[in-house]
Amino acid sequence: MRYRASTQVRAYWEALRNGRLVPRRHEIDPSGIGQALEYAFILERTGPLMARFRLSGLHLAELVGAEARGLAMTDLCTHRARARVAEVTESMFRTPEIAELTLTAVTGPGRPPLSARMMILPLQSDLGDISRAIGCIETEGRIGVTPRLFEVSHVAITAINARRPACRTRSQELGLAEDQASFLAPAPVAQRAGHLRVVKGGE
């Protein structure tokens, strides 16, 4: 299977919700996703159209060239793709729904072709609002020089129906730029490297 980590995270999320709309954040146990942990992350909605990484696995750190904790979701994207990613993430929290994004990295010197799949699954916070999410990002290709910035080529949205497994309802193909050179400038990131860190409390 090309995206085993995403499949494992999705199956774990479905098992946790067990007939509910979404699972709770505090129910997430890193040991429950095993080998997918390297590719997983936890998001927090910090405001309208804004979500930040609270926890992240090593693979995300490898893509940005630093620890991803505290970065915005949109920091992974080109300037043009950021609005689309923000809209998809906001809809995932508000509806709620499952979002799957197919991403294509900007290429250039030291940055070979690289594709990625990102899945985002909503979670309920300890306060009762749906403002957390567990996700997974997997790539195909060599990472090369970091940070890698991505364009969005496809979005698939999956409706969530309590008491039944979620099923896909719509998808959208998005065109990529013919000239991506202007998007090669990296987004600013903190210069620290790290693995997934588990923080207890209301995350």
pLDDT tens figures, 165-178: 565 555 554 544 33
- State what percent of residues in the chain have pLDDT above 90: 76
Contact call for residues 84 and 176 (beta carbons, < 8 A) = no
Q: What's residue 195's pLDDT?
A: 38
- pTM listed for this prediction: 0.80
Query: How does the average pLDDT of the chain come out, rounded?
Result: 85
| 192 compared with 5, residue with greater pLDDT | 5
The mean pLDDT of 185-189, rounded to a whole number, is 35
| Residue 123 β-bridge partners | 132
CATH architecture, domain defined by 4-175 = 2-Layer Sandwich (3.30)
Q: What's residue 118's pLDDT?
A: 98
The mean pLDDT of 39-43, rounded to a whole number, is 98
The mean pLDDT of 182-191, rounded to a whole number, is 34
Q: What's residue 181's pLDDT?
A: 33
Q: What's residue 3's pLDDT?
A: 83
In this predicted structure, the answer to whether residue 196 has a pLDDT above a threshold of 50 is no
Q: Enumerate the domain spans of the chain.
A: 4-175
